[in-house]
Amino acid sequence: MPAANLPPLFAQLPAELARLFDPAAPWALLGEPLGQLLAELPSSAIEGRLDPGAQILGDRIVISAGARVHAGAVIEGPVFLGRDVQVLPGAYLRGGVWLGEGARVGANTEVKRAVFLPGARAPHLNYVGDSILGAGVNLGAGTILANFRHDGADIEIPVAGGRLATGRRKLGAVLGDNVKTGCNAVLYPGVVVGRETRIYPGVQLRSGVYPAGRIVKLRQELEIVERQDSAP
């Protein structure tokens, strides 16, 4: 297995995550470390606002002061919502989720087994599976972070000199601080993107490691022809 040569990802991690984080294998946080962190949560500590019609299911649920869960959202514990987190109508959080201060999960977005660092946003029609979003990340509407291979095999990440085994059957993306994706981008299982990189709308980003401070562009060739049934 080649050594990981990962780009800069996170400038600062909250203390509770920093003690569990391995920078050589950032995806490992989604396994036992996240499970341990969530298991340490109190059974129920709800200080934020729950709108009528919000559904809260299961155990180990923390909703911090200033956070709001809107009507029509569904949350299955264990889950941690930091201060000023917003969970909008139609959002679905499950499988163990940790949302840092000021994070946002938008309308009709599903989040499964994921970590959002402070200010990360999945605001419109997103799927975020088994992923880590750095501080200030914003997913364009319709962005999908796919987390499972069709053949069910463990996720391996192509790197120079071979493939990097993650030991995970489900792994979406690890996005560094302030990564932005355009609308309808699809990131394949096992994508690592360095901080401050921008991804164009409609990009299908294959498994791999992408550097920091870049623009990932998509160019389309359009053909515009006259309609045969158009009036003269």
Residues with a catalytic annotation lie at 124
From 118, 84, 124, 68, select the one nearest 98 (Cα to Cα).
118
Structure tokens at 148: 């499972």
What is the DSSP code string of 50-98?
E-TT-EEESS-EEE-TT-EE-TT-EEESSEEE-TT-EE-TT-EEEEEEE
Q: How far apart are CA 132 and CA 175, in angstroms?
A: 6
The 10 Å CB-count burial string (b at 16+, else e) for 38-50 is: beebeeeeeebeb
Q: In angstroms, how far apart are the furthest CA atoms of the chain? A: 73
Q: How far apart are CA 23 and CA 4, in angstroms?
A: 10
49, 84 Cβ separation under 8 angstroms = no
Q: Is 162 helix (H, G, I), strand (E, B) or coil?
A: strand
Q: How far apart are CA 139 and CA 180, in angstroms?
A: 6
